[in-house]
Structure 1
């Protein structure tokens, strides 16, 4: 296994040498020229394209680091907003945003470093085993034509002038091969550690991105709360309030008729009693929409089981939770699951849905899978954007896998900490 890893590292070192020489040097030269051309005005047009190429090259190296060395390098780039202006004004604005992004300048520094330190580390990752094998080739007699023609051959520190020195070179080569078994993977890792040092976001970048995300999620949470209040007001005005007003008018009429026409008064009392029952049912539905009683009393696990029973589609539920969570977390998780199940019932054409809820690695994870037609997308107007915003208020994530023809899997995650269920807690 160690030899196999060393051979893989040797081949990867050779590939990295080529990529460093061709890719990094070329992009560095074009980047510098594009920055110089900004003074002439031409750089305003070329800079976005050159930056896109540099970021594509850097992202490829990030993916390569994860695949070849198991080193994760997050992207530090700021998202570009939608630019309303077109033409030259839009180009200038986009170029300005690129130049204000610290990650653009760190990419330029990385290209320069990759040309030197990256190339040297890739060279050392590659050279040990091939150069060691060359020592064995010398011992096979390759040295003789060179020496007989008046030339000289040195292998490392050994002057190869006879079969004895050729055999000594072969021993040195064997030592280099053994060294390469251990050193080649280390130099490959070192190459990607250098990449991570300049391609990964700095603590300042992470903090800035965190502040921007919190600002966005705060605005989304405020908007969601305002929309929820408007929905409650509308439901109260159009539903329970209207029924209660009608019931009050009926009671006034009954009061006037109770002595003159008792039979009609009894009939109207019966209608008022029915209206009160319907108003109570609407109020209960409204309260359930705000915070379901089963969620408050029994927790998220029992709440989603009860939710699954009310769905039109058969839902297989697998819940494994260590205890209760904070009420806002449980509420966000419950309504996110409810929205996804509703979407599956309305839009997917599925015959069955699977719901998995569990807690692992400091996060509450929920997965909803259906065997429908697929094609779900956050841009499709199916409520997934609202779920994403709801989870974003808790630094949560939403991921969708929905190829055409299905199946569809919606995965949601909320970072949180559970607390054990207690008898004195609802």
Structure 2
């Protein structure tokens, strides 16, 4: 599940003072011309949708509209001292498919409504805030009224530019449905993999053991030397089958994870890597077992990708728990270019963590570095382990 990100603001700052909000009002004024221009172009594009020109115009305007509303969403958050998120539906990268998604996204229509507000009454409010400062007679009005005026405008901006409780719940249900489908598919693939490994490995060897012991039983009276050789082969095959069974079981739930916890298990993974791995682990002694398992396999899969594909001289792992979220990161300075659509490994990481409402972010430009990071809701009251 990918993150639905808004424009960043400085979380934790209080509401802006009169000088700051006046500066933001002046910035609103500077942005009035592009807001008005985009509003006009959107209206023209809507009229021209009967021909291809209008559709192409709207496709080109969509990122511009979202950039403008993102700036004003950021300003509203700074004026109010709160975060104003932008929970757009995720895009696909295909222009016409993204247009269909955007047309079905309530945030798109909120953005268009805001363009009308921002080019009319919103602009008047910001212009008034600036003009009040410029007159000697109006200076007292500015002193006492500019903050309520701009907070009122920012409140309207926030109400239009972010979703309400009902829409948020709808998006939450959709996200849970997608993550459930991913988890079901991943679980089915894992079951098929285990079945295939058992069929191709231990099952075939145990069948060979049974055949060898049967032949040995028939030959003990007539050719004891051959019978003893067959028993020896059966013993060797059974030992190999036991080793393969252990590997399969270890792939389901590694014993080191049960014995040493997530920090110890990840440290063991790092020691098995052929390239140096820098560790930064700040974790409780124990976390809930399902989350430990999911994060362990996420780290293991990322390291396996590094070893197989990255050609990296070094890698690094960071796992930190703040009492509410377990944040993880696996990176390498290899060739980059990793993408979840080009293999099952990264998709498996996303699917495993999505089952726990985890958010995964993948950054892997060509030439590197590759960084896979995630956040998983996770609470624990056990003692902490810190490794650097």
Q: Does 1:207 align with 2:169?
A: yes
Q: Number of aligned pairs? A: 369
Structure 2 Cα separation of the partners of residues 80 and 381 of structure 1: 20
Alignment map for 1:187-198 (pairs within 5 Å)? 187-198=149-160
* Cα deviation 1:244-299 (Å, max 9, x = unaligned): 00000000111112222222222222211111110000000000011112223332
Instruction: Tell whether the 8 Å contact from 1:247 to 1:275 is kept in structure 2 after alignment.
Output: yes
What's 2:248 paired with? 286
Partner of residue 303 from structure 2, selected from 331, 337, 341: 341
Tell whether the 8 Å contact from 2:323 to 2:381 is kept in structure 1 after alignment: no
Q: 1:247 to 1:383 in 2, by over 3 A?
A: same
Q: Gaps spanning 5+ residues in structure 1: where?
A: 84-89, 136-154, 157-172, 422-426
Change (3 A) 1:230 1:404: closer
| Corresponding residue SS for 2:88 | coil
Aligned to 2:84: 73
Q: Structure 2: how far apart are the matches of 1:95 and 1:367?
A: 33
TM-score, normalization by structure 1: 0.75
Q: Deviations over 1:183-222 (max 9, x none)?
A: 6566555443321111011112211111111111111111
Q: Deviations over 1:369-405 (max 9, x none)?
A: 3233444343454722331222222221222344554
Q: Provide the secondary structure at the position in 2 that maps to 1:243.
A: helix
1:10 equivalent in alignment to 2:10: no
Residue among 96, 102, 106 paired with 1:102 = 106
Conserved 8 A contact 2:38-2:61: yes
Which deviates more from structure 2 when the two are superposed, residues 233-242 or residues 316-325?
Answer: 316-325
In 2, Cα distance between the equivalents of 1:385 and 1:254?
48
Give the secondary structure class of the aligned counterpart of 1:383.
Answer: helix
In the other structure, the counterpart of 1:261 is 223
Query: Which residue does the alignment assign to 1:24?
Result: 35
Q: Following the alignment from structure 1 to structure 2, what is the Cα–Cα distance between the partners of residues 398 and 80?
A: 16
Is the deviation greater in 57-66 or in 342-351? 57-66
Tell me, yes or no, if the aligned pair for 1:400 and 1:409 is still in contact at 8 Å.
Answer: yes
CA RMSD of aligned residues (A): 3.3
Structure 2 unaligned blocks of 5 or more: 1-15, 384-388
Q: What secondary structure, in the 3-state scheme, does the structure 2 residue paired with 1:77 have?
A: coil
Task: State the structure with more CA Rg.
Answer: 1
1:276 and 2:238 are equivalent in the alignment: yes
The 2-side partners of 1:323 and 1:371 are apart by 30
CA distance 1:318–1:97, change in 2 (3 Å) = closer
Structure 1 segment 92-171 matched on structure 2, within 5 A: 98-131=102-135, 135=136, 155-156=137-138
| 2:278–2:316 CA contact under 8 A, matched in 1 | yes
Q: 1:51 to 1:211 in 2, by over 3 A?
A: same
Query: What TM-score comes out, normalization by structure 2 length?
Result: 0.81
CA contact (8 A) 1:12 1:126 kept: no
Query: What secondary structure does 1:214 align onto?
Result: helix
Distance in 1 of aligned mates of 2:332 and 2:93: 34
CA 309–51 in structure 1, closer or farther in 2 if over 3 Å, else same:
closer
